Chains A and B, each alone.
Chain A
Amino acid sequence: MTSSLTQSDKRGVAGDRVFSALTVSAGVLILLTLAFVALFLTVNSRDAVYQEDQGGWILTAFLDYAYPLVIGTLIASFIALILAAPVAVGVALYISHYAPPRLSKGIGYVIDLLAAIPSVVYGAWGMSFLGPALIPIYGWLHENLGFIPLFAGDPSQTGRTIFTAGVVLGVMILPIITSVCREIFIQTPKLHEEAALALGATRWEMIKMSVFPFARAGIISGIMLGLGRALGETMAVALVLSPGMLTASLISSGNSTIPAEIALGFPEAPPGSERQAQLIAIGLVLFLITLLVNMTARWIVSRHKEFSGAN
């Protein structure tokens, strides 16, 4: 006679095995997808740097094509960062330390609404409303500060410049930086804040001495995440900017960014052509740049994880 206590019940073992195998394979599939993204982009961009009938490697030709786009992308992103970062940190401070506590959650939702507006709508807004509104400012800058190369050149009559694109990008990355900063400002140890206030610090001194040192890594990584988003943002730039050659002037039409170039050029490029390979190749460049930025941001967060809780 067998005891039911010493005998293992085998029913259901298969279910356990199958289920755990399924979950592992889903995780592996994600890793494979990312690897395939890199692989497919690399393989398909081969034609952009190697053409048999043009004497083998044409790397310099590709670089000549790519570097104005890379610089244009960086210019637009940095304009966005310079405009958005201070405002975003201020808004996060407002939500975490200045707004009435009962309202602060609702205010957070309102700022999140900025993130809910699709990028193509931002593009349309930048093209039809923001751009024309900025024309007088461009004219003024050109007249009074035209000796600076940034404001040289004919001011745009439509307002569709790299600066307008940068402003739109700034609006779009504002909620991202704000939400990261807000999370971290809230986590500042209450005891630090109260100790500072008890020593007679004003609210600003308390923020400067207890909140900012605690949140520094979080602020930086929030800004990096915003930068990653700005670099890869397509539609806003494609609609706002009237693309052209690389120029130093921010207020005349010209410059272009990688995502806008792909979005405008790809539907017209015949499949399998050198043009398509070229567009995929700059896509790969963009992928690598954003990968670098995002990994740096995550690395900063993870390095400070033990005492900032920013993850």
Chain B
Amino acid sequence: MTQTPTPTPTAASAQGGPPSLGDGSSNGLVRRSSLTQNTLPSWLWIALLGGSIVLGAALSALLGFNLASFFIFTAAIYILSSYIVTRTRVNRRRATDGLWTNLVYLAFLIALMPLVSVIWSVASVGIPGLLAPGFMASDMQGITGLVDQASQTEGAPVLGGIAHALIGSLLITLAATAISVPIGLLTSIYLVEYARGGLLSRAITFFVDVMTGIPSIVAGLFAGAAMAWFLSVFSGVTGLLTTQRSTLGITAAIALSVLMVPVVVRTTEEMLRVVPNELREASYALGVRKWRTILKVVLPTAISGIASGVTLAIARVIGETAPILVTAGFVVNTNWNLFQGWMTALPVYIFRQFQNPTSPNFSDPSEQRAWAAALVLILIVMGLNLFARLIATLFAPKQTGR
């Protein structure tokens, strides 16, 4: 695999030394250089990158300059030229190594591009909409196509807002959390504290994993069908309700909890497993019963991890659109009642404003509202993520002294 340290004329000249092969007097020089001959000067990659940028700019200018072609040309020229230089000046293995290093860095840059692009596009369009008066405080009641037409053609301020969608999202997510946290927490307690590797616990672990992958729209279809069945049975038994449509806020909450429960189970299970066994044993030794040990010792130790896991689960479901769209529908006015009537959530609001603008021919105000709502949604989700990490680090149980 290794190359013999016989310096080629090019390698020797690269060090600035005279190409004096076979000269007995310079033997010491050749031997010293055999340690350094397989390296390239450290400034070379900067020079190559600079050259590639210039060349890439020139080439893309030939085709009519744009950022994408500039980036592609520069990356291609840089990767190719550094491979060729290393291949000719050092050896093939080094060149392959350098090639893959460059490709890995390129992959990282490529992954950053959509992130930057999404945040830039949402912020640049969304901020003006967010600053429109009453955007956070008003709903869409009374906002007709004529109002939007006036905004677009006569420069009237864009009216309408997201208050109803914020309230809907808040209520639906809270209800989903209230349903899924007890179920998820109890299940993970069963898996960690009670199960002894039996069939039931293995089945639960497996199917919780499977549940993580349920398409969100399928969860919505399930919740809608289940609620319709429940309502028909309920009204059939009691005779209290006339057949009501299953499109309710609570149906959406059930759909979201189908998505949320597996996340809660997975995270809390992990957190409960890292609680040291010595704590449980100390509690048992004092004669404390198991259920009180779990409630008073295990859960308080793991509470920071559990709280951050629940927050992450909330962050995951608050951005879900499809299950709410098929279960809770969309309305223009504020609805505070989870058990009566249709309800709008923030993601559904964004979707509807794009897909069915309030005024089909004058869609600019609708798009402005949608982008501003998207900005609000991103801020909420990222805030929740940040909050979760904050809880996890700030309130983490001390690792030492135990």
| Interface residues in chain A, defined as those with a beta carbon under 8 Å from any beta carbon in chain B | 9, 12-13, 15-16, 18-20, 22-31, 33-34, 36-37, 40-41, 43-44, 86-91, 93-94, 98-99, 107, 109-114, 116-125, 127-130, 133, 171, 174, 178, 200, 202-205, 207, 225, 228-229, 231-235, 238-239, 259, 262-263, 266-267, 271, 279-280, 283, 286-287, 290-291, 293-295, 298
* Stretch of B146-154, B319-327, B333-341 contacting A (4+ beta carbons < 8 Å): B319-327
Report A259 CB to chain B, min CB distance, Å: 5
Q: Which of B351-393 contact A (CB under 8 A)?
A: 351, 354-355, 367, 370-371, 374, 377-378, 381-382, 385, 389
Main secondary structure of the interface of A (DSSP, over half): helix
Please determine whether B207 and A202 come into contact, CB atoms closer than 8 angstroms: no
Question: Which residue of chain A is the closest to B115 with respect to CB atoms?
Answer: A114
Chain B residues within an 8 Å CB radius of A88: 107, 111
B310 close to chain A: CB less than 8 A: no
Question: Which residue of chain B is the closest to A301 with respect to CB atoms?
Answer: B209
Please determine whether B97 and A30 come into contact, CB atoms closer than 8 angstroms: no
Please determine whether A23 and B351 come into contact, CB atoms closer than 8 angstroms: no
Which 8 pairs across A and B sit closest by C-beta, in order of nearness?
A: A232-B215, A90-B107, A118-B319, A26-B186, A23-B190, A294-B213, A19-B291, A202-B97
Question: Which residue of chain A is the closest to B295 with respect to CB atoms?
Answer: A19
Report A102 CB to chain B, min CB distance, Å: 16
B237 close to chain A: CB less than 8 A: no
Distance in angstroms between the alpha carbons of A43 and B224 in the assembled complex: 13
B2 close to chain A: CB less than 8 A: yes
Please determine whether B322 and A91 come into contact, CB atoms closer than 8 angstroms: no
Chain A residues within an 8 Å CB radius of B34: none
Please determine whether A27 and B104 come into contact, CB atoms closer than 8 angstroms: no
B253 close to chain A: CB less than 8 A: no
Please determine whether B207 and A23 come into contact, CB atoms closer than 8 angstroms: no
| Interface residues in chain B, defined as those with a beta carbon under 8 Å from any beta carbon in chain A | 1-2, 68, 93-94, 96-97, 99-101, 103-108, 110-112, 114-115, 117-118, 121-122, 182-184, 186-187, 189-191, 193-194, 200-201, 203-204, 206-219, 221-222, 225-226, 228-229, 245-246, 258, 261-262, 265, 287, 289-292, 294, 315, 318-322, 325-326, 329-330, 347, 350-351, 354-355, 367, 370-371, 374, 377-378, 381-382, 385, 389
Question: Which residue of chain B is the closest to A231 with respect to CB atoms?
Answer: B215
Q: Which of A23, A34, A295 contacts B186 (CB 8 A)?
A: A23
Chain B residues within an 8 Å CB radius of A174: 111, 114
Question: Which residue of chain B is the closest to A266 with respect to CB atoms?
Answer: B326
Please determine whether B321 and A24 come into contact, CB atoms closer than 8 angstroms: no
Which of B112, B182, B245 is packed against the most chain A CB atoms within 10 Å?
Answer: B112
Chain A residues within an 8 Å CB radius of B216: 232, 234
User: A41 with B222: in contact, given A90-B106, A124-B371, A128-B121 (CB under 8 Å)?
Assistant: yes
Please determine whether B218 and A30 come into contact, CB atoms closer than 8 angstroms: no
Report B208 CB to chain A, min CB distance, Å: 6
Distance in angstroms between the alpha carbons of A254 and B134 in the assembled complex: 40
Please determine whether B351 and A37 come into contact, CB atoms closer than 8 angstroms: no
Distance in angstroms between the alpha carbons of A303 and B4 in the assembled complex: 45
Q: Which of A94, A113, A239 contacts B351 (CB 8 A)?
A: A239
Instruction: A18-B291, A280-B221, A286-B217 given; name 13 further pairs at CB < 8 Å.
Output: A26-B186, A26-B190, A27-B187, A30-B187, A30-B261, A41-B222, A90-B108, A124-B374, A133-B68, A204-B99, A267-B329, A271-B246, A298-B209
Chain B residues within an 8 Å CB radius of A267: 325-326, 329-330
Distance in angstroms between the alpha carbons of A87 and B258 in the assembled complex: 31
Please determine whether A202 and B190 come into contact, CB atoms closer than 8 angstroms: no
Report B125 CB to chain A, min CB distance, Å: 8
Please determine whether B322 and A259 come into contact, CB atoms closer than 8 angstroms: yes
Report B369 CB to chain A, min CB distance, Å: 12
Please determine whether A34 and B215 come into contact, CB atoms closer than 8 angstroms: no
Q: Which of A13, A287, A295 contacts B215 (CB 8 A)?
A: A287
Please determine whether A22 and B186 come into contact, CB atoms closer than 8 angstroms: yes
Please determine whether A40 and B229 come into contact, CB atoms closer than 8 angstroms: yes
Please determine whether B97 and A204 come into contact, CB atoms closer than 8 angstroms: yes
Q: Which of A34, A117, A203 contacts B210 (CB 8 A)?
A: A34
Distance in angstroms between the alpha carbons of A233 and B121 in the assembled complex: 22
Report A173 CB to chain B, min CB distance, Å: 12
